[in-house]
Amino acid sequence: MNLNKNNIRFYAVTDRKWTGKMTLLEQIEAALAGGVTCLQLREKNMDFDDFLEEAKEVKKICIKYNVPLIINDEPSVALKSGADGIHIGQDDMEISEVRKKVGKDFIIGVSAHNKSEAVLAERGGADYLGCGAVFGSSTKSNTNPISIETVSQICSAVSIPVVAIGGINKTNILRLSGTGVDGAAIISAIFSADDIKKECIELSELTLKLVEQKIK
């Protein structure tokens, strides 16, 4: 699946912290039914075999909704599960090494926290950028927030799609208007919701507003 800016508009990143009433697979299905346009499967504390089996099941759901599946950090899981792409951080493998592993048609996303990281990632062959943390993060304890101005600088410096991430929810998402972002990556506001599908329907409408304001 080729990446386009419509895919990147409403980007969900999983976190099993909020499983319990629902399994992660049930949560993912509800999120995609609510309008999520891209899904990143993130498992920091799962062994390879379990991660791979989970990714295969998640891919089936993504096929049902025609949504690209991005795997966090693990090229082998991404390839063997039939996923569409991989997302890596600044401290992970070099983009060129990842590209050798996954091939030219695979989506590669890279985290960027400033203009120089963004430019280097694009030169290195990234297909999109994750930019943050814009409003802090309840998922990562070692994350430093970046300013709205920095988000704008990153968007102006690159030609590939940019997705804002970090503490984004219904009350603050439109503060990103005018920055040039192509979408929002959302974690806790989705997966901690009592009604994930309903929350995603509302968030999807807000991401549309965000993108439409960029076009204007």
Per-residue pLDDT tens over the stretch 138-170 = 665 566 789 999 999 999 999 999 999 999 999
Does any domain span residue 78? yes
Across all residues in the chain, what is the average pLDDT? 94
Eight-class DSSP state of 86: E
List active site positions.
Answer: 42, 111, 140
Does any domain span residue 3? no
Q: What is the mean pLDDT of residues 60-72?
A: 97
pLDDT for position 139: 61
129-146 pLDDT per residue, tens: 999 999 986 665 566 789
Q: Which residues pair with 165 in a beta bridge?
A: 132, 185
Does any domain span residue 1? no
Per-residue confidence at 171, pLDDT binned at 50, 70, 90?
A: very high
Which CATH number do you get for residue 99? 3.20.20.70
Does any domain span residue 210? yes
The angle at the Cα of 60, spanning 89 to 74, to the nearest 5 degrees, equals 25
pLDDT for position 91: 87
CB 117 within 8 A of CB 153: no
pLDDT for position 140: 58
CA end-to-end distance (rounded Å), the chain: 28
CB 213 within 8 A of CB 178: yes
Q: How many domains does the chain have?
A: 1
What range defines the domain where residue 62 resides? 10-215
pLDDT for position 110: 97
Establish whether the linkage from the previous residue to 184 is cis, with ω within 30° of 0: no
Does any domain span residue 52? yes
93-140 pLDDT per residue, tens: 899 999 999 999 999 999 999 999 999 999 999 999 999 999 986 665
Does any domain span residue 4? no
Does any domain span residue 132? yes
- How far apart, in whole angstroms, are the C-alpha atoms of residue 100 and residue 73? 15
Does any domain span residue 2? no
- How far apart, in whole angstroms, are the C-alpha atoms of residue 195 and residue 186? 15
